[in-house]
Chains A and B, each alone.
Chain A
Amino acid sequence: MPAIGSIRMALALLIPMHGVVVFAGFFAPYDYAEQHRDYPYAAPTGIHFKPLPYVYGLKGDSQEDRTRVYALRFFIRGRFFGTDPPGHVFLLGTDGYGRDIFSRVLYGGRISLATGIVATGWALAIGLLWGVTAGFFGGWLDAVMMRGAELFLALPWLYLLLAARAFLPLHISPVQAFLLLVAIIGSVGWVRPARLIRGLTLSLVQCPYVEAARAFGGGPVYLIRRHILPETRGILLTQATILIPYYILAEVTLTFLGLGVGEPVPSWGGMLAEARQYHTLVTHIWMLTPGVATFLTLLGYVHLADVLQGRRDPVR
């Protein structure tokens, strides 16, 4: 099935998602902390066409007021779209404080996606260093390093994440929390790439061309840089596509449990935590959209990982 198995489909999902999240300041009609206290839990604003798009004003109980009409304007006040005040446009409704959920999903994605990507870079860096060192020098160093790495696999990942988080301060600023989150999440899951890279290094070191280079007097630094690191590219790429969704999910989970970046900075996990009032959730189901955003991002990455792995290993 070429249509589904193509990389293009995954990228068609991922690139726009990352684009709107990175440029959230432009695409989001409101700031993430801007409260519209008069309109808590407002339903998604209906967009009407005549033929130009317009929206109705909102009454006190967040119902449409058909007597007031506001045109939907593009490129207004430095944002992609919006309406003239006092009109509002809440594409995905509002939360309990009347904050625009669409804007918050976009801004919140910054934390979630950035954590996923930065933590992946961090984990792959550790994995690369660890795997190449162990595989290249071999012997007792290899044995000790790989045994040590196994300790990180001895715990179920969420238990490991929470345990690591438990031993760090609870009340910290958002920037500190972000860095902490990246460091913790990246420390889980670097073992698999490290193992793969070690295996690759072990086999490369025995290749005739590497032995020849060594016989000509190439030192370890030269051999690693010239002959080993370039060969790890494939593993790093496929591992990155596996790790990023896994780490995004880890961030969402930790923040959901209240151990990540806290208010007022939005993130998908934190927003989902606000949706946890099961008794009222059905009446404002749009509170679940950060979960849908997470789902779409994961779908894109999982698909990308499948395609990349399928290329390497056509049996699957």
Chain B
Amino acid sequence: MRYLARRLLHGAFLLVGVSVLSFLFSDLAPGDYYSELQSDPRVSAATLAALRTQNGLDRPLPVRYATWLKSIGRGDFGYSLAYQGPVGPLLAQRIPGTLLLTGLATALGWLLSVPLGIWSAARRRSWPEASLKVILSVLLSIPELLMAIALLALAVQTGCLPAGGLHSPGRADALDALRHLVIPVTVLTLGLLPILVRHVRSAVSEALDAPFALAAAAHGIPWRRLLFRHVLPVAMNPLISLFGLSLGSLLSASLLVEVLTGWPGLGPLFLDAIFARDYAVVLGVVMISTAFLIGGNMVADLLLYRADPRIRG
């Protein structure tokens, strides 16, 4: 249990650290939401100063940080100047979209990559395995950007799949939503696949080369049983840690794919907030994505705790 408590504490430390750092940086940033209005001759300097006072932008940093923390406690995450409302509901609207994409891509990616990785580790140095390796290298090098643009252009050209968004106008059934999911999930899964397969392969081959596997083979344990009963549980360990780590790259890829396909997730909200200098939203998204990543790693830690008796000791 001490292990879990330590991991939990560690996660909390990271969240607080990120919040302090990002708050500091947002304070150092040149310009704010009202900077764009400064060049407008109809808005006087006094009006701007009044607006800033009204929204508390002129108060000292620790006070603003404390106010912000309090608003997180209420679930508000600060006040968005661009949307004229608390950030919390904006985030709540977008979180399911991002979670749906990343969740589906994670599930599909692991479902595909574990068998592929085991297969390629079991038949090392054969030509089908070598060609799989080449395909994965190529896949790894295709920027998700390019893949998404090409797929979207293809979808528009052939008209077989919708090119963006969550729903077609006037339709809200499950089939329609599923059709909208195809392109974003495909891009994310194909981006995740090469990384996962490589790691599964190296974890399994490492376990296959371990002395215990050789000893088991020498005792005449059948190959299939050796692979699934003896080697795989050992190889699971690094893979569980990878699950937490892969979440970071997946969330990043998801941001890009969401922006490209107009998917209502955190990505477009974040990008718009950056261009509008709406720091409350920026901070909110930063905190949420950090929480996702830490949560993912925490799940990985829990699984590791269950799977590996050495940690429990």
Which residue of chain B is the closest to A166 with respect to CB atoms?
A: B274
Q: A164–B286 Cα gap in the complex (Å)? A: 10
- The smallest beta-carbon distance between A280 and chain B, in angstroms, is 9
Which residue of chain B is the closest to A159 with respect to CB atoms?
A: B289
How many residues of chain B are within 8 Å of chain A by beta carbon?
A: 62
Q: A252–B248 Cα gap in the complex (Å)? A: 19
List which A251-293 residues lie within 8 A (CB) of chain B: 252-253, 256-259, 269, 272, 275-276, 278-279, 281-282, 285, 288, 291-292
Is B186 on the interface with A (CB-CB < 8 A)?
no
From the candidates A150, A159, A269, A302, name the one contacting B252 in the complex (CB within 8 A): A159
Is B99 on the interface with A (CB-CB < 8 A)?
no
List which A291-313 residues lie within 8 A (CB) of chain B: 291-292, 294-296, 298-299, 302-303, 306
Residue interface bits B7-29, CB-to-A below 8 A is 1, else 0: 00000011101100110011011
Which residue of chain B is the closest to A156 with respect to CB atoms?
A: B251
Contact between A281 and B255, CB atoms less than 8 A apart: no
Contact between A282 and B252, CB atoms less than 8 A apart: no
- The smallest beta-carbon distance between B3 and chain A, in angstroms, is 17
Contact between B14 and A281, CB atoms less than 8 A apart: no
Q: Which residues of B contact A257 (CB under 8 A)?
A: 256, 259, 271
Q: A150–B248 Cα gap in the complex (Å)? A: 13
Is A222 on the interface with B (CB-CB < 8 A)?
no
Given A167-B26, A272-B149, A315-B209, decide whether A159 and B143 contact each other with a Cβ distance below 8 A.
Answer: no
- The smallest beta-carbon distance between A71 and chain B, in angstroms, is 35
Is A169 on the interface with B (CB-CB < 8 A)?
yes
Contact between B251 and A159, CB atoms less than 8 A apart: yes
- The smallest beta-carbon distance between A171 and chain B, in angstroms, is 10
Contact between A4 and B153, CB atoms less than 8 A apart: no
Contact between A167 and B141, CB atoms less than 8 A apart: no
- The smallest beta-carbon distance between B283 and chain A, in angstroms, is 9
Contact between B17 and A155, CB atoms less than 8 A apart: no
Is A175 on the interface with B (CB-CB < 8 A)?
no
> How would you classify the secondary structure of chain A's contact residues: helix, strand, loop or mixed?
helix
Which residue of chain B is the closest to A161 with respect to CB atoms?
A: B252
Contact between A272 and B146, CB atoms less than 8 A apart: yes
Q: Which residues of A contact B290 (CB under 8 A)?
A: 154-155
Residue interface bits A139-182, CB-to-B below 8 A is 1, else 0: 00000000110110111111100111111111000000000000
- The smallest beta-carbon distance between B307 and chain A, in angstroms, is 22
Q: Which residues of B contact A315 (CB under 8 A)?
A: 202, 205-206, 209
Is A221 on the interface with B (CB-CB < 8 A)?
no
Is A50 on the interface with B (CB-CB < 8 A)?
no
Contact between A155 and B137, CB atoms less than 8 A apart: no
Residue interface bits A1-24, CB-to-B below 8 A is 1, else 0: 100100000000000000000000
Is A249 on the interface with B (CB-CB < 8 A)?
yes
Contact between A163 and B141, CB atoms less than 8 A apart: no
Residue interface bits B179-217, CB-to-A below 8 A is 1, else 0: 000000000000000000000001001100100000000
Is B53 on the interface with A (CB-CB < 8 A)?
no
Contact between A158 and B157, CB atoms less than 8 A apart: no
From the candidates B130, B143, B259, B277, name the one contacting A295 in the complex (CB within 8 A): B143
Q: Which residues of B contact A294 (CB under 8 A)?
A: 143, 146
Is A316 on the interface with B (CB-CB < 8 A)?
yes
Contact between B270 and A162, CB atoms less than 8 A apart: yes
List which B230-284 residues lie within 8 A (CB) of chain A: 247-253, 255-256, 259-260, 270-271, 273-275, 277, 279, 282
Contact between A162 and B271, CB atoms less than 8 A apart: yes
Give the residue among A252, A292, A296, A302 with the most B Cβ atoms within 10 A.
A302
Given A150-B14, A154-B17, A158-B256, decide whether A302 and B146 contact each other with a Cβ distance below 8 A.
Answer: no
Is B152 on the interface with A (CB-CB < 8 A)?
yes
Q: Which residues of B contact A157 (CB under 8 A)?
A: 248-249, 252
Among all A-B residue pairs, the 8 with the closest Cβ atoms = A158-B252, A291-B146, A167-B29, A156-B251, A299-B141, A298-B141, A281-B153, A166-B274
B residues near A (Cβ < 8 Å) are 13-15, 17-18, 21-22, 25-26, 28-31, 130, 134, 137-138, 140-143, 145-146, 149-150, 152-157, 163, 202, 205-206, 209, 247-253, 255-256, 259-260, 270-271, 273-275, 277, 279, 282, 285-286, 289-290, 292-294
Taking A154-B17, A155-B286, A253-B256 as known contacts, 7 extra A-B pairs with beta carbons closer than 8 A to each other, sorted by chain A number, are A155-B289, A162-B274, A252-B145, A257-B259, A278-B153, A281-B156, A282-B154
A residues near B (Cβ < 8 Å) are 1, 4, 147-148, 150-151, 153-159, 162-170, 245, 249, 252-253, 256-259, 269, 272, 275-276, 278-279, 281-282, 285, 288, 291-292, 294-296, 298-299, 302-303, 306, 315-316
13 A-B pairs whose Cβ atoms sit less than 8 Å apart in the complex: A156-B255, A156-B293, A157-B248, A166-B274, A166-B279, A167-B25, A167-B282, A170-B275, A278-B153, A285-B153, A291-B149, A294-B143, A295-B143
